[in-house]
Structure 1
Amino acid sequence: MKQIMNVFGNRYNSVRTNDCDNGRFESFAANRRNLTRQFSIVDSFFHQRKEGERTRYPKYNFFLMAVGLILICLGVMSHMCNPYMLIFKWKLIFENGGEIFELWRTPPVDLYIKIFLFNVTNAEQYLEGTAEKMVFDEVGPYVYRELLSHENITFYDNGTLYTKPSHPLVFQAHLSAGHKEDDVFYLPNIALLSIAQVASKHNYLIRLPLNLLIRQTKTVPLEKQTARQFMFGYETTLTTLGNTFLPNWISFNKMYDFDNDFETFYTGVDDESLSGLYESYLGSPKLAQWEGDHCSNIRNASDGTKFKSFIKDEEQLLFFRKSMCRAQRMVQTGSNHEVDGLQATKFVFEENALDNGQIDARNKCFCRKGQCLARGLIDVTDCYYGFPIALSYPHFHDSDPSLLTKVIGLHPNESLHSSFFMINAVSGLPLKLSVKFQINMAMGDISNMAECERFANIVIPTLWFEITMLQLPRGLRNRFLFYLKYLRIFDRIMYFLLLVGGSLLLLYAVIRVALSVSLSLTSNNISRKNKKISKSERCAENRRHSLLKNNSSKLEKGSVQEREHFLT
């Protein structure tokens, strides 16, 4: 019974009394435990070092792994959340003291207006009737710098702001190629021709006193004027009388008045891409002189200071200025341009935009009171306080060819007389622009008015202007180069550095753990082998001594013959 209990009690001393056999079985059990422990990475981190084992650094490896994982997570989050774009969108929102808002309120750009006048070189001959057509000679440029600013700004809770624009002009003599504001030319008498246009539609009793007034004051349709007088107005007897006796026909006192406008713009609170775009003009998102949304809408148009941000491929934009009397649609012609190191998308005015519905039926609404002018002209009488003004492109570019048959000296050229915009599609920042329009007097049948018979049913070119910005100032350009180019590159570099750096740290930590496990296993194997060899040698020595002892005993007891045999 005792032997049975010893078996179940794992007492094997009675079975294995040999120390060498005990060592072999103990070595096998220890080897199994070591293999189980050392091939576990987690256990290699937290298993307590035994006395005599090699020193490990589990906390350092764990720290490297944690940092690597954190860097990888930050890289993935930066790619998904795009912090650069979040910050950029925040900067686009208009608020007091905001960087982009301050740039919009008072643009620090060199914006110029170049004006070219049409001098009638044969004015006397044409008035006398000896010349069949008027001969025009383009003179200029007369260059003015526009000091654009948005004044009296009030922020509203609905994501818009109220402002009154200011457009003072400062003459730039050094850019005007020797031309001076007091240069004298033969130019159209706008006051006389405007009165004649309005009065010609009334009965004889109204026309009679006006004709007497015209003859009495010896006013003629073409007269000598200085460049400044023609561009900015001057007081004459006819304009004074016209403003006194014909106040409901023509607003002579507002002939050159552009100071009473008020506008509402989006701040970008609800949509960052719309910051700086029109919400309304004079309290309405539509221009009163046109019918239908296609012709009257100015909402989301730009005044040229800032265009829509985050422009998509093939997206169209709107450009509006009071002098144009409409929002002009712009289309993309290419996005692979670069201006001063910044990516730019080129826009031009929509083809056939001034066709009055002859080609594009949507433009039929630009015909004033159902009366359509020739293709290439837009009647803006209502915007110019009753004056018979029609806009076109310079030199009647892209207009009905018949307009050129009644005058001499105009030479349309697409490269010289077309408009373009270079806009950064991300920010909506204009990098370079050139906007060109011509102001004409579109005369009807005024043959029943004194001195005006030869000016009936003709379109008289008066001047054309170019709003131009050749480049951004150096400081502004460098600022947006940093925001739109270098900062984006830095953002991409940081994204890859986070991913690559985190991956390398994680890989390094894993390699350290693997090497630590491998070296520990090798060291233990060598130690066990040495221990096994030492124990084997000890067992062999014990067996040899035991054998010698037994043999010596036999030798003493044996015969002489057996001793000799043993010694042999």
Structure 2
Amino acid sequence: MFIANDINDVSVLSALNESSYKLASDLSLPKKLEECDFEEILYLLDNHFTPRRSGFAERHHFHSATQRSGEMHTQCATARSYKCKKCRQEGHLRRMCILGNKVYFIEKSNMDEDSDGNSSAQRSALAHVLVVAGLIPAHGIHLYRPYMFAMVWAFVLVYYVCFRTPKEGTMVVSKKNEWLIGSGMGLIGVGVLFSTTWSAIFHAKIQQMMILKEGSTSFGIWREIPIPIYLECFLFNITNVDELLAGKNVTMRVQELGPYVFREINKKVNISWNENSTVTFKNQRFWYFQPHLSNGSLSDNVTSINPVVATIAYTLRTERIMLKIIADMAMRMYHSNIFLTANVSSWLFEGVQDPILDLVGHIPGLPYTIPFDRFGWFYKRNGSIDTDGLFVTNTGSANFRDLGNIERWQNSNRTVYRDQCGELKGTTGELWALEKDQPEINIFAADLCTHMPLAYSGKVMVRGLPGVEFAANDSLFDNGHKYPNMACYCDEVRDENCMPAGALNVSSCKYGAPAFVTRPHFLGMDSYYPSKIQGLNPSEKHNFRMSIEPITGMPLAISAQLQANALVRHIPGLSINNQLPDPDMLVPMFWFREDIQVNEEYANFAKTALGVRFGFPYGFYLFIIIGVCLIVSGIYRIRKFALAKIREADIAASQKFLSHGDKKLGLQSLQNNL
């Protein structure tokens, strides 16, 4: 062997004892030691015994280095590269940029930026891709450092182990294992990406469906409500009229009649779209009597206060005494007392004909122009497009949180009340964009010329759908008694016209009539007026409630309940108005309940949407689990293949060692001779 390799200096052969020969043989694999020349053997042994630098220590120094004050990014990168000679510096620096360290970007191994400025463009492109992919939030990546650190290093590790270009003497991974690990990485990437962004994607789709525009899902529902709406009307019949007219010191007794149920059809007409993300429209409503759902007939007679007499008296309460006496004489020409008996149909829709209305219509200088020739709670409202007024509503296209909010009503951004009570707030009830844990909502009621606040009252379940319920509390119609911000519903100088808590004065909204709105049966009202009436039975079932599905904003159930009352006070000079024993009474006239509940069709639609919302993430989690299993399977197969190769190499090395036994004995004898 030595003659073949032209080795003349035999002094070195003394170092090749049995252990040295074995070491040299192992280092020369897969070549045989006989095939190596002398210089190559020296290189193998020298390289083996030369101390090596610690990669862990270098990486520690590399990552612990910080940028000094005044140091350029490229200088800092170069300094870091010297701390880790064995590190893959370019890859480390790139990952440090992605993970949110001091931002510099290295495009070349020598840490110099491209002269054509491509580094800046590529940096912007990479950042854009990461933000769009959902790996980095738009406001910064520092919140996602632990997550991204694990993701990046996991992908780098798998790539380094399985997909790097094999060199001579390294293991070659089969295509099947590559597909296993690659598919696993892809499934994990898809699962992580969509599981973290699915909520935002879903809500964006819901917003697209709920924004009010032609062709959207919400537009058809808003334009003509497809859910059955029923209006239930209850009238109070005064049962002791004779005793009251006799001047006896008795309490007024009332009897509740009804309900008289009507099917309501609600449409939006005269729709026009505006450029400022609003839509202008009018309401058109139709009511159809439902005798099979009603408790009574429209021909039932009801006796109550004559609203025409009470309105004239209330309007003239501050006028001169002579004018009051003349008005009293005129009213007594047509009426003998303050009470009026008419059937239910007349009280509600057909209207009660009263000659005094014709007379009043010819008197000039009145503060209000009365556009009716009859009195009825819904007179001329059936099919009218002008009763509720002209609305301008926000479509939510510019800001989804403003969806459904009333921007203008009757060509104004204010109502008849002063200060903040006259501000337009809330929606008409069809469209909602609830915020998380919203404490209250506001519903704008055109009949009251103001909004009604409903406070959060808890969670409910309607047709299997979870929702949040809002209900009226003691803040509704408070007038500033408990809640100072409600004081603007009274005059700035509070007087007798400011009602006790629980009743709202809507006379300025109803042509000067002494109309006051409460909850049914005086629910939650101060006891001053309810104590003067017998036959009332307030309970929680009379409360105003609304349930909303918070994610889709779909109204689940509405129980809108209000009561109309007439204020009758003794006024000097108006004897026909002063026939009640008590000089200050709030007489209940009628109350209504408008019931709406989501039907099965729309409930199933909402269930499907919520199922997609909460079900899809589990599918993405399954992607991640399958991806992990594929990667583990691929790595296991690679490890199994590697162990087999190691065993084969061990067997080959053992056989080679045994085959060189005679040569080793020859070397030992040669050493002994020397």
Report the TM-score when normalising by structure 2. 0.69
Alignment RMSD (CA, Å): 3.5
Matches of 1:166 and 1:365 in 2, distance apart?
31
Quote the offset at 1:48 in angstroms: 8.5
Query: Which residue among 251, 266, 287 is the counterpart of 1:169?
Result: 287
Unaligned runs of 5+ in 2: 15-19, 33-158, 667-674
The C-alpha deviation readout for 1:97-150, integer Å capped at 9, x for no partner, is 101222222222122221110001122332343563322101111112221222
Query: Which residue among 219, 236, 254 is the counterpart of 2:354?
Result: 236
1:385 and 2:511 matched: yes
2:438·2:456 contact (CA, 8 Å) conserved in 1?
yes
1:354·1:378 contact (CA, 8 Å) conserved in 2?
yes
- Distance 1:528-1:168 versus aligned 2 partners, 3 A rule: same
1:181 and 2:304 matched: no
Matching of residues 155-554 of structure 1 within 5 Å: 155-177=273-295, 179-218=296-335, 220-232=337-349, 233-245=351-363, 248-254=366-372, 256=379, 259-260=385-386, 261-287=389-415, 289-293=416-420, 295-299=421-425, 301-309=426-434, 311-335=435-459, 337-368=460-491, 370=493, 371-413=497-539, 415-455=540-580, 456-469=583-596, 471-484=597-610, 486-530=611-655, 535=659
Partner AA of 2:624 in structure 1: L
Matches of 2:290 and 2:572 in 1, distance apart?
41
Quote the offset at 1:447 in angstroms: 4.3
Alignment match, 2:6:
6
Partner AA of 1:423 in structure 2: I
The C-alpha deviation readout for 1:144-180, integer Å capped at 9, x for no partner, is 2221222222222211111112222222222112x12
Matches of 1:211 and 1:43 in 2, distance apart?
103
Matches of 2:490 and 2:163 in 1, distance apart?
87
Matches of 1:522 and 1:41 in 2, distance apart?
23
Alignment match, 2:29:
30
Quote the offset at 1:439 in angstroms: 0.5
Matches of 2:613 and 2:232 in 1, distance apart?
37
- Distance 1:251-1:234 versus aligned 2 partners, 3 A rule: farther
1:122·1:135 contact (CA, 8 Å) conserved in 2?
yes
Partner AA of 1:432 in structure 2: A
Secondary structure of 2:319's aligned partner: coil
Matches of 1:467 and 1:32 in 2, distance apart?
94
Quote the offset at 1:42 in angstroms: 4.8
Quote the offset at 1:527 in angstroms: 4.3
1:184·1:226 contact (CA, 8 Å) conserved in 2?
yes
Matches of 1:305 and 1:43 in 2, distance apart?
58
Matches of 1:257 and 1:246 in 2, distance apart?
24
Matches of 1:44 and 1:87 in 2, distance apart?
39
Alignment match, 2:213:
95
Matches of 1:329 and 1:91 in 2, distance apart?
27
Alignment match, 1:18:
none
Quote the offset at 1:509 in angstroms: 2.2
Quote the offset at 1:290 in angstroms: 0.9
The C-alpha deviation readout for 1:451-506, integer Å capped at 9, x for no partner, is 2222453211101111222x31110000011112x112222212312322222222
Secondary structure of 2:571's aligned partner: coil
Quote the offset at 1:29 in angstroms: 1.8
- Distance 1:506-1:211 versus aligned 2 partners, 3 A rule: same
Partner AA of 1:467 in structure 2: E
- Distance 1:399-1:27 versus aligned 2 partners, 3 A rule: closer
Query: Which residue among 238, 254, 263 is the counterpart of 1:145?
Result: 263
1:104 and 2:222 matched: yes
- Distance 1:174-1:6 versus aligned 2 partners, 3 A rule: same
Q: Comparing both chains, which one has the higher relative contact order based on Cα–Cα distances under 8 Å and sequence gaps of 6 or more? A: 1
Alignment match, 1:556:
none
Instruction: Say which is worse superposed, 257-266 or 394-403, in terms of deviation.
Output: 257-266
Unaligned runs of 5+ in 1: 16-20, 34-39, 544-568
Quote the offset at 1:365 in angstroms: 0.8
The C-alpha deviation readout for 1:178-211, integer Å capped at 9, x for no partner, is x122211212221122112213432244334433
Matches of 2:567 and 2:293 in 1, distance apart?
31
Secondary structure of 2:309's aligned partner: helix
1:65 and 2:176 matched: no
Aligned-residue identity in percent: 21
Partner AA of 2:177 in structure 1: N
Partner AA of 1:211 in structure 2: D
Secondary structure of 1:248's aligned partner: coil
Quote the offset at 1:57 in angstroms: 5.6
- Distance 1:408-1:4 versus aligned 2 partners, 3 A rule: closer
The C-alpha deviation readout for 1:247-273, integer Å capped at 9, x for no partner, is 734443256455321111111112223
Matches of 1:43 and 1:143 in 2, distance apart?
75
- Distance 1:23-1:124 versus aligned 2 partners, 3 A rule: closer
Matches of 1:136 and 1:426 in 2, distance apart?
44
Alignment match, 2:143:
none
- Distance 1:134-1:44 versus aligned 2 partners, 3 A rule: closer
Alignment match, 1:563:
none
Matches of 2:343 and 2:553 in 1, distance apart?
39
1:214·1:450 contact (CA, 8 Å) conserved in 2?
no
The C-alpha deviation readout for 1:214-239, integer Å capped at 9, x for no partner, is 22223532121011211232332122
Larger Rg: 1
- Distance 1:245-1:313 versus aligned 2 partners, 3 A rule: same
- Distance 1:297-1:44 versus aligned 2 partners, 3 A rule: closer
1:80 and 2:196 matched: yes
